[in-house]
Amino acid sequence: MGDYKVMDRTRAEQDLYSLMVLPTAVADKMAKIANARPDRSMGIYFVDCNAKFPAIEIEAGLDTYTIRTSDLIIKIFLSMMDQDGLLLAVQL
């Protein structure tokens, strides 16, 4: 991510949805580059939807996979209903 590189062997997981599981030190460094705010209680980072930061390049064997910035930001939309049945929707 930008000038930040992890050169040793490390484990990262990517599911088919939107989750990346990384070593904490790597995730924290990447979050700092993106100016993201951690929420340890939820186990996620919050970043401005219009943030600009470098893409991530992951090398696996001879292949390099690039994850674009636009694919790293998920717009969160929360909704809940109060006890009177009124819907409250919040876009973060």
Q: For the segment 14-44, what is each residue's pLDDT rounded down to a tens digit?
A: 555 666 778 888 888 888 998 988 887 877 7
pTM for the full model? 0.59
Q: What is the CA radius of gyration of the chain?
A: 16
Number of H helices, E strands in the chain: 2, 8
For residues 87 and 81, the answer to whether their CB atoms sit within 8 Å is yes
> Does pLDDT of 46 surpass 80?
yes
Q: What is the pLDDT of residue 88?
A: 58
* pLDDT tens digits, 71-90: 888 777 666 666 666 655 55
92 half-sphere exposure, CB direction, 13 A CA radius: 10
What is the pLDDT at residue 92? 52
Question: DSSP state, 63?
Answer: E
pLDDT of residue 44: 79
Taking all residues of the chain, what is their mean pLDDT, rounded to a whole number?
A: 76
Which residue in the block uniquely carries the two structure tokens 């930040």? 4
Q: Where are the domains of the chain?
A: 13-91
Percent of the chain with pLDDT over 90: 0
